[in-house]
Amino acid sequence: MTYDLSINLEYGFTEAGDRLEDRIAAAAEAGFRKIELFLLKGRDLAAIRQAIDAHGVELISTIADYVTQLVDPATHAGFRDIFRRAADDALALGCRNVVVTSGRGVPWLKRPVQLRILADALEMLVPIAEERGVTILLESANTRMDHPGVLCSTTEDSVAVARMVGSPRIGLIYDLYHSIVEGEDPAVVLPAAMPLVRHIQVADAPGRGEPGSGAIDWPAQLALFAQLGYTGTIGLECHPSSPSAQSLQWFQELVRAS
């Protein structure tokens, strides 16, 4: 199956400069019609929207916040306000997916208790998501290399929390890089998660470089996605090892040929 690809412009096309408008132009020239960003707070949304429209690309995901420790109930009311603003900013750019991460866990509460508190936080966000017509994408991240101490580190963690909430406004990002670095076998963990997966992100391991720069068998992973019925976009959230257009071309061609 041929998949649409998106590119995270926090990592990709950085050689075009610091301005997101220039990175958007470079990504579009390289054939990308979908992009992803992290935080929108403090950015020039009007200029970004103008570049998106001018180059015919679509912003498909953004992040509400990096650091809020949602295992602490005292953060929930404040995070609700953060999420509301993030959703409004995303909508201003035509985006309907807002990523939520768990933040760090704590050593003095059992894991099921912490996951339940995280689910409570997400339940507070659902009415906002329903009102604005956005989807909350819950993402797990590895603790072994990139995010030590994070609560949701496994695919199973995100699946459990999403099922606790039980809302169609809650979906999952499955990040293949984080999953593999955390020691998971995608062929084992992804089938159970797939009914909740709304987006897949990829990078190679080790190194978080572009697909083809590490040890992952990419034809096998693309075949797994197709076997499990995934039809969405595959997002490249990687650090290109050379000029982005050149280093990402191999994966673009592989996906077109699959």
Domain holding 123: CATH number? 3.20.20.150
DSSP state of 196: G
Residue 70, domain extent: 5-257
- φ/ψ of 62, rounded to 5, equals -145, 165
pLDDT at 169: 98
DSSP 61: E
- Residue for token pair 């999420």: 83
pTM above the 0.75 mark?
yes
Q: What pLDDT, in 10s, does the model give residues 104-138?
A: 999 999 999 999 999 999 999 999 999 999 999 99
Q: Is the predicted pLDDT of residue 197 greater than 90, yes or no?
A: yes
For residue 29, report the phi and psi dihedrals to the nearest 5 degrees: -65, -30
The per-residue pLDDT for 129 is 98
User: Which pLDDT value is given to residue 181?
Assistant: 98
Identify the band that residue 198 occupies on the pLDDT scale cut at 50, 70 and 90: very high
What are the Cα distances from residue 20, in Å, to 52, 85, 236? 10, 20, 17
Of the candidates 95, 81, 86, 150, the one whose C-alpha atom is nearest the C-alpha of residue 118 is 150
- Read off the pLDDT of residues 3-50 as tens digits, 9 standing for 90 and up: 999 999 999 999 999 999 999 999 999 999 999 999 999 999 999 999
pLDDT score, position 244: 98
CB 212 within 8 A of CB 250: yes
pLDDT digits (tens, 9 = 90+) for 139-174: 999 999 989 999 999 999 999 999 999 999 999 999
pLDDT at 1: 74
Question: Among candidates 169, 161, 95, which has minimal Cα distance to 136?
Answer: 169
- In this prediction, residue 258 carries a pLDDT of 85
Split into its structural domains, the chain has a count of: 1
What would the two tokens of residue 59 be? 């912003």
**pLDDT in the model for residue 127:** 98
- What digits encode the pLDDT tens for the residues 50-106? 999 999 999 999 999 989 999 999 999 999 999 999 999 999 999 999 999 999 999
